[in-house]
Amino acid sequence: MEKKRTDYKRTEKARPEKKQYEEEKGRAGKSADSRGRRVKPEGKALQVGSDARSGRERQQKSGIQSGTKIPYGAVNRSRRSAGALTDVCPVYKKCGGCEYQGVPYQEQLKLKEKQVRKLLQKYCTVYPIVGMEEPYHYRNKVHAVFDHDRKGNAISGVYQKGTHYVVPVDECMIENRKADEIIVSIRELLRSFKIKTYDEDTGYGLLRHVLVKRGFATKEIMVVLVTASPVFPSKNNFVNALRRLYPEITTIIQNVNGRGTSMVLGDQEKILFGKGYIEDVLCGCRFRISSKSFYQINPVQTEVLYGKAIELAGLTGKETLLDAYCGIGTIGLIASKQAGSVTGVELNKDAIRDAIVNAKQNNTKNIRFYCADAGEFMEDMAAQGEKADVVFMDPPRSGSDEKFLSSLVRMGPEKIIYISCNPETQARDLEYLTRHGYGARGAWPVDLFPFTGHVETVALLERKA
């Protein structure tokens, strides 16, 4: 299942230790267009941020987007070390994606580790956080919202936090540079092809969003054009023009979303060029990634995270392993090299299709995938007397529900490897598991999202004797 991490509202409260930085975040000045939507007139920004971000209003070579926002023009490259970064992106107040905007990276790591300790140390030892050597341009997935200003000019950017006002941005300091360039070029092609951006108020216009995914190891690039209608005038010429600018693009997809919804992708898709998917290599395995499949956005740190998770499992080659919320099969396939057998469970049918293909192309014989609710699947396993020695779980930001956790306890694996992108919901779930026969042995935070308030943590739980 694509874990829809961007659809879960964050439950984290403002961190007290960040107050000194948040006091600098006064209300941003706002300029409204003719329909009352607020946009940044000059559109010159760089930003770094969370899953809901993207966008870029061309401004020559300046701008940062999504979270940690820093205009390139204001940051001398010789000063862009993780410890020296104190400049502030001009649109970060409106975007809201980067809670640690202007905070030196080493200080960010201390704040994140402190937050994880505060939430999890009552259950287990919290080990030092693992950060990045180069915490910039790490996002391999970039999403831009398309709209127009009061003069009718196309803009691309991110929604202002908590609104549907579009903040124009060109380039994001945490997003892949090539992806940002492609989005800017698409915006510039719209005028030539007389393509209108979608208007949420009137329902008029064609282009709603652009999504770019890039394989970190393979360099393959997918471009998804999200349109309000399946009718795409001059689409072949548009695709050819984009490919002439970026011959490295390996596939282009039209996704149709005609619904009045905050969801980015619709159900209908058409391949305009290429295979309709890209591939990437992670921890020695090759993975197929489609437009709707979940794939971690920071491959460098994902290898650190998954490596630690598999190390904690202590696999000997004989274990039966269950990969709940398996997505496209990443953790299960990587772990299958050291396990006896692996079962992956995922509710998203597109992700399961990719997972099956991934198993075949990695020549993995000891893994099988099921499209089902993980909690119900484990209930059925327990009812039939089936067991798993180790369970890997990597739920959405909202964590697991009691139905899933009770099924997990009933099945009774010897070890649970709990990977979480939200330490608050992880703490809640650890509370349940430690009250129902499990002991938490440790938690290891890994920073997959520099300059944002998010952090991944892998925890080891073992069944009590």
Among 182, 179, 186, residue whose Cα is nearest residue 215: 179
- C-alpha–C-alpha distance, residues 70 and 82, integer Å: 13
Tokens read off for 3: 């874990």
Q: Which residues are CB-contacts of 353 (< 8 A; sequence separation ≥ 6)?
A: 290
Name which of 228, 348, 339, 364 is nearest 290 in CA terms. 348
In the block, residue with structure tokens 């990977």: 419
Q: Is 421 a catalytic residue?
A: yes
Query: Both tokens of residue 351?
Result: 């992700």
| Strands annotated E in 41-115 | none
| 3-state SS class at 271 | strand
Closest CA to 39 of 163, 195, 194, 144: 163
CA dist list (Å): 231 to 205, 254, 270 = 11, 10, 11
Biggest CA-to-CA distance, the chain: 70
Tokens at residue 309, please?
Answer: 């998770």
Per the CB < 8 A criterion, the answer to whether 48 and 452 are in contact is: yes
- In angstroms, how far is CA 52 from the centroid of its own chain? 9
Radius of gyration of the chain (CA): 22
Taking a C-beta distance cutoff of 8 angstroms, is the pair 220, 278 a contact?
yes
Query: Which residue type is seen at 409?
Result: V
Q: At what angle do helices 423-434 and 105-120 cross, to 10 degrees?
A: 30
DSSP labels, 289-321: E-TT----S-HHHHHHHHHHHHHHHT--S--EE
Q: Residues 6 or more apart from 405 whose CB is under 8 A from it?
A: 429, 432, 433, 436
What 3-state DSSP class applies to 2? Answer: coil
Query: Could you say which DSSP state residue 98 is in?
Result: -
For 310, which DSSP code? Answer: H
CA–CA dist 212, 56 (Å, integer): 13
Token pair 């992670």 is found at 282
Handedness of CA 438, 443, 446, 451 (dihedral sign): positive
Q: How many angstroms from the chain centroid is the CA of residue 67?
A: 13
Q: Are 378 and 408 in contact (CB under 8 A)?
A: yes
Q: Which residues are catalytic?
A: 421
